[in-house]
A and B are shown apart, each in its own frame.
Chain A
Amino acid sequence: MKNPAPYRRPYFDTQPEYLFPKYASTVKRAPKEPLVVLPHTLSELTAPVFGYGDIKPADSDLTKQHKGEPQGERIVVSGRALDENGKPIPNMLIEIWQANAAGRYNHVVDQHDAPIDPNFTGAGRCLTDANGNYRFLTIRPGEYPWRNHYNAWRPAHIHFSLFGPAIVTRLVTQMYFPGDPLLDYDPMYTCVADEKARKRLVSAFDWENTVPEYALAYRFDIVLRGREATPMENRR
């Protein structure tokens, strides 16, 4: 079996370093020894495949997981998953989780004094379609304080976990909302120097996907690493 093409290494200043002292928790958890550059072997170029044996179509509606309606503003969050070569990523598992409308997570560690919503768990899953499109219906999450530094607040965000076709394309990221005044104060959002890279984490207001009388919409496209040109494509 010939060696398949490896994935591109990150473009500079677009991916965070492990040690980033403005985010205090990195200090005791970031490795200090030099990383060893890993060649992309079959172990790195493969990944598990998930399907409708793993999830149900209803897992993508976070507003219908309990008997009652959750508090807050319903929103549609949708977009497309592509790789760096512009190729859509079909049938990919996407997992999301988030705080409720009041900025409180349904988690024992979250002791923020804001109400838990018994009708909102805040977790969803879906598979991208044949063209890489995904869609969730959820509640707009609230901002919340955290103890990273004095008067620290997280901008409203939704956590995303994506697999992609290879272990090295695995991505966990966060989606933010346009115009959030907290973004520039947030060490997560500001963890990379490239301003365009940051802005790609901010969703866009999405008029076309709004549901009249029901929900506004935000669009969040996600790009996973793409492969370097294959030997075939290099042939002149």
Chain B
Amino acid sequence: MSLRASTSQTIGPYLRIGLEWMVIEDLAPQGVAGERVRIEGRVLDADGKPVNDAALEIWQANSHGKYASPEDTQDKPLDPRFRGYGRSLTDNDGNFRFRTIKPGRVPGPDGKPQAPHLAVTIFMRGLLKQLVTRVYFPDEASNADDPVLALVPAERRATLVARKKADGLLEWNVILQGRNETVFFDF
């Protein structure tokens, strides 16, 4: 059977009505193993104006590098209190925020380990389909061998790596267009 996937449509300006019930900005309640980290940032448009109607969703492995998904058949422990999914809706200044743990390494193409990263999906008015990007961690030696970062032109890689702002606090901004435009993926 060969069907065609339904066409994507914009999430529109009223996404909050449908998505707000499941805002998850704190992914890791007490007892979840791993290094605690806060990730905060802003979404900015081509004019540097904050985007106040975006939804950011993150998806990540636990500290052992295991996804809480039946598709992950790796022999690694699950953490029953950690689903690894977060959703934040931007405020009037375009800010979003997550509290989570740093994920472990997961296999990439051909089984080569990837550097720790979050998968990010972004929806907003003015996007007819989602943007897909990633957040990597600063001071992480494995970034140098990451098979996905290696596909990104070297001068643009920094847009995917969060900046350390304070102990346990990382900053990562989404620049939709123009100077320092964030790298987005064709997924």
Contacts and interface: CB of A to CB of B under 8 A. Distances in A.
Interface of A: 1-4, 8, 10-11, 14-18, 20, 23, 25-33, 35-39, 41-49, 54, 82-86, 95-97, 99, 105-107, 109-110, 121-123, 125, 159, 161, 165-168, 170-174, 188, 191-192, 196-198, 200-201, 222-226
Nearest to B71: A46
A14 B4 contact: yes
Contacts of A123: 17-18, 21
21 contacts: A2-B111, A16-B129, A31-B184, A38-B151, A38-B187, A41-B108, A42-B67, A43-B119, A46-B59, A47-B69, A48-B69, A49-B68, A84-B4, A97-B14, A97-B15, A123-B17, A167-B121, A167-B132, A174-B10, A191-B7, A226-B5
A28 B175 CA distance: 11
Contacts of A172: 8-11, 123, 129-130
Residues of B contacting A: mostly = loop
B72 interface: yes
B92 to A, nearest CB: 11
Interface string B97-141: 000000000111111001001010101111111111010000000
Contact of B3 (A36, A82, A166): A82
Contacts, number: 246
Given A30-B177, A123-B17, A223 B8 contact: no
Given A43-B117, A201-B6, A223-B6, A36 B185 contact: yes
Contact of B59 (A30, A43, A109, A198): A43
A53 to B, nearest CB: 10
A10 B115 CA distance: 28
Closest 5 CB pairs of A and B: A97-B18, A86-B1, A25-B126, A46-B69, A16-B128
Given A38-B186, A107-B14, 7 more contacts: A18-B128, A35-B185, A41-B106, A84-B2, A110-B13, A166-B71, A191-B128
Nearest to A31: B184
Nearest to A124: B18
Contacts of B147: 39, 41
B151 A36 contact: yes
A201 B9 contact: yes
A35 B11 CA distance: 21
Interface of B: 1-19, 21-22, 45-47, 49, 51, 53, 57, 59, 61, 67-74, 83-85, 106-111, 114, 117, 119, 121, 123-132, 134, 147-148, 151-152, 156, 176-178, 181-187
Contacts of A122: 17
Contacts of A28: 45-47, 49, 126, 176-177
Contact of A29 (B4, B110, B126): B126
Nearest to B83: A48
Given A41-B109, A107-B17, A33 B114 contact: no
Given A3-B110, A30-B177, A86-B1, A16 B12 contact: no
A200 B6 contact: yes
B117 A173 contact: no
Nearest to A41: B108
A159 B11 contact: yes
A82 B182 CA distance: 33
Contacts of A14: 4-5, 7
Given A14-B4, A39-B109, A29 B177 contact: yes
A197 B127 CA distance: 18
Given A18-B129, A49-B68, A85-B2, A197 B186 contact: no
Contacts of A30: 126-127, 176-177
B46 to A, nearest CB: 4
